[in-house]
Amino acid sequence: MQMEDDQKIAECISKLINVVNQMKACGEANFDQQIIEKIMRTLSSRFDFIVVAIHESKDVKTLKIE
């Protein structure tokens, strides 16, 4: 899963959350940290500076998806 250049962040995250919900319905255990890291990995390169800033200023383990 990768964010397309013309795709909005809300669309990308919504798609990912939909997949996560399907995985949960099948019994897969997902943690917020895993989902947040996946979101940051799937963002297009134009958001690299934001991802770096989040990693530098926040503890990813304590972040919530909201």
pTM of the model: 0.69
For 2-45, the pLDDT digits (tens) are 888 888 888 988 888 898 889 888 888 877 788 888 888 888 88
Residues near 54 by Cβ (< 8 Å), separated by ≥ 6? 40, 60, 63
**Alpha-carbon span 46 to 4, nearest angstrom:** 11
The answer to whether 3 and 43 are in contact (CB under 8 A) is: yes
| DSSP secondary structure code for residue 58 in this structure | S
Domain spans of the chain, in order of start: 29-66
